[in-house]
Amino acid sequence: MPLPTTPTNDFLLGLPKAELHLHVEGTLEPDLKLRLARRNGVDIGQQSVEDVQATYQFTDLASFLAVYYPAMQVLVTEQDFYDLADAYLAKAATQGVKRAEIFFDPQAHTTRGISFATVISGYSRAAYEAAERHGIDAELIMCFLRDHTPESAHATLEEALPHKHRILGVGLDSDERGNPPALFAKTFATARENGLKLTMHCDIDQHNSIEHIRQVIEDIAVDRIDHGTNIVEDPALVKMVRDQSLGLTCCPLSNSFVSDDMKANEIINLLREGVKVTLNSDDPAYFGGYIGDNYQAFAQASGATTAEMVQIARNSFDVSWVSAERRADYHAMIDSYVQEFSA
């Protein structure tokens, strides 16, 4: 029996996929936040899940970040960082994730007195155990906060280099307005010299978005772009991204919180033009869904066919930073999943 042209929610949830745009601090669910606050004796001024959710009022990236960073004060010990990452990996496993390349923001913790070693130890222990505990190959991508200085980013990289065997790549996140990629060129060049992969956020509908995307491609020479769907405004950028097979890590549910919509039309059109778009969850505890939920919401909004959704899952492994051998294993997993579902 052939697969239906329109994908079912069950099919999309179980479809093997890689998550490539996921901020682990953005997976802090209200119940875990309350539990960690109690465990560490931190007064967050909220007593119930409803209290926490009532603070989730945002209309753009800046207003989201103003809620996001203060929540992190409940993360204190190595075990807290482990528990946060492990809870995400357990959830991701239920939504078809086989490979996760996970962002973390060390400066959001070191600037409030938590040591870099505490942060990286907790996260990397959870990543290391993920294959056995959850059937996921997990790796870490260390992001610099672009609304802190380039000097702070560079100092963070230097602090991280003794731990570089625990880090797959580096990224750039936080508030993009007035903080262009080129400011961080030296730090990203040093990361590259140290064998790390490079990615940067080009958030949705930002001021100077097209120039920022040009910088990440031409000046920084990134290996992937986070979001980046504003390339639709410039055919030359679409061509560059397609010709270089640069992956775009799109996040539909997140888009609908920080901009006017999910950008489903832009994403499906880019897919149909041969761009390696992928779907991801960004900050799922804040944006109402994990990766499978993003696949489902996007399929519904865009009218993508089953074959197109399978292509998106394939793209996620194509642009993930795995060996060619491992990539072939993941493609085979998709093939058998599709075959089983058709039977």
Which residues lie near ligand ADE (CB under 6 A)?
23, 26, 61, 173-174, 201, 203, 254, 282-283
β-bridge mates for residue 250, sequence order: 279
Name which of 34 and 277 has its Cβ closer to Zn ion: 277
Q: Tell me the β-bridge partners of 171.
A: 143
Nearer to ligand ADE, 253 or 338 (CB): 253
Residue 198, helix vs strand vs coil: strand
Q: Provide, rounded to whole angstroms, the least separation between the CB of residue 252 and Zn ion.
A: 13
Alpha-carbon gap, residue 290 to 202, rounded angstroms: 21
- Residue closer to ligand ADE, measured from CB, 287 or 295: 287
282 counts as binding Zn ion under rule CB under 5 A: yes
Nearest approach, Cβ of residue 225 and ligand ADE (Å): 12
Please report how close the Cβ of residue 2 comes to Zn ion at its closest, in angstroms.
36
- Residue 25 found at the interface with Zn ion (CB under 5 A): no
- 8-state DSSP, 96: T
Structure tokens at 132: 């056995």
Which option in ligand ADE, Zn ion, none does residue 285 bind, with CB closer than 5 to 8 A by kind?
none
| Closer residue to ligand ADE (CB): 137 or 173 | 173
Q: 198's torsion region: left (phi>0), alpha (psi -120 to 50) or beta?
A: beta
End-to-end CA distance of the chain: 6
Q: Which residue is nearest to ligand ADE (CB)?
A: 173
* Residue with smaller CB distance to Zn ion, 258 or 271: 258
Q: Specify the 3-state DSSP secondary structure of 195.
A: coil
Instruction: Supply the minimum distance, in Å, between the C-beta of residue 173 and ligand ADE.
Output: 3
141-145-146 Cα angle (round to 5): 120
CB of residue 146 to ligand ADE, shortest distance in Å: 8
Please count the residues of this chain forming the interface with Zn ion, following the rule CB under 5 A: 1
61 binds, among Zn ion, ligand ADE, none (CB under 5 to 8 A by kind): ligand ADE
Count H helices and E strands in the chain, helices first: 17, 8
Quote the least distance from Cβ 75 to Zn ion, whole Å: 18
Given the rule CB under 5 A, which of 110-118, 142-150, 163-171, 280-288 is the region that contacts Zn ion? 280-288
- Per the document, the length of the chain is 343
CB of 26 to Zn ion, least distance (A): 7
Tell me the residue nearest to Zn ion as measured from the CB.
282
CA distances from 26 to 184, 193, 286 (A): 23, 29, 7
Q: Which is nearer to ligand ADE, 83 or 203 (CB)?
A: 203
Separation of alpha carbons 253 and 326, rounded Å = 29
Strand bridging mode 97-104 / 17-19? parallel
Judged by DSSP in three states, 197 sits in strand
Which chain residues interact with Zn ion by CB under 5 A?
Answer: 282
